[in-house]
Amino acid sequence: MDLVVRAVVAFFFVLFLTRVVGRRELSSLEPFDLIMLVILGDLIQQGVTQNDFSVTGMLLVGGTIALLTVLVSYANFRLPFLRPVLEGAPVIVLQDGEPVERNLQRNRITLEELQASARQQGIASLEQVRWAVLETSGSISFIEK
């Protein structure tokens, strides 16, 4: 039972971390970030299983994490009021060619990153854009004028 409790705590800790870190950072992982995620995963695994290397422990922890993943997904689907907490909401970062500074700062996006994203989608100038939206996946969508 101790393994199940630790798995539940670890699951919600990881869910919390992904909300704190932010969408943009998770969508554009640099090599250092990827290595840190692997290290974080190993540290969490050690905290969950401690010295239990049994098959039963692995099944309990794996089953608990899988069940929680399904439950959170189901809650996100069936309970719309939880979506902003579990999934986040799209954020407008540019409107009518003008950056929405408050939203850019809140999501730690520079104007240069916004311009680079626009160029990657074939948009030469932000003045051509009616809206730029930071999606829940961390990507930026552009709607031209």
Domain end call among 39, 54, 86: 86
Please state whether beta strands 91-95 and 129-134 pair in parallel, antiparallel, or not at all (unpaired): antiparallel
Q: Give per-residue burial for 33-65: e unless 16+ CB within 10 Å, then b.
A: eeeeeeeeeeebeeebbeeeeeeebeebbeebb
Residues 79 and 98 placed together within one structural domain of the fold: no
CB 64 within 8 A of CB 8: yes
The predicted structure's pLDDT at residue 93: 95
Residues 69 and 55 placed together within one structural domain of the fold: yes
Residues 52 and 19 placed together within one structural domain of the fold: yes
Residues 81 and 65 placed together within one structural domain of the fold: yes
Residues 66 and 33 placed together within one structural domain of the fold: yes
Domain end call among 86, 110, 128: 86
The predicted structure's pLDDT at residue 22: 65
The dihedral through the CA atoms of 124, 126, 131, 132 has a sign that is positive
Residues 80 and 96 placed together within one structural domain of the fold: no
Structural domain total, the chain? 2
Give the predicted TM-score (pTM) of the model: 0.65
Task: Enter the tokens of residue 138.
Answer: 């961390």
Residues 11 and 72 placed together within one structural domain of the fold: yes
The residue among 2 and 98 whose pLDDT is bigger is: 98
Residues 49 and 17 placed together within one structural domain of the fold: yes
Specify the CATH number for the domain of residue 122. Answer: 3.30.240.20
The predicted structure's pLDDT at residue 120: 93
Contacts of 43 (CB under 8 A, 6+ apart): none
Residues 32 and 73 placed together within one structural domain of the fold: yes
| Chain segment 45-81, per-residue pLDDT in tens | 877 877 777 888 878 888 898 888 889 888 988 999 9
What average pLDDT does range 79-89 have in this prediction? 85
Range of the domain at 127: 91-144
Beta bridge partners of 95: 98, 131
Task: Enter the tokens of residue 136.
Answer: 């829940």
Residues 133 and 64 placed together within one structural domain of the fold: no
Residues 34 and 68 placed together within one structural domain of the fold: yes
Distance CA 68, CA 145 (A): 43
63: nearest Cα among 118, 137, 7, 25: 7
The pair phi, psi for residue 140, each rounded to 5°, is -115, 125
Residues 110 and 52 placed together within one structural domain of the fold: no
**Confidence label for 34 from pLDDT (cuts 50, 70 and 90):** confident
How far, rounded to the nearest angstrom, does the alpha carbon of residue 37 sit from its chain's CA centroid? Answer: 13
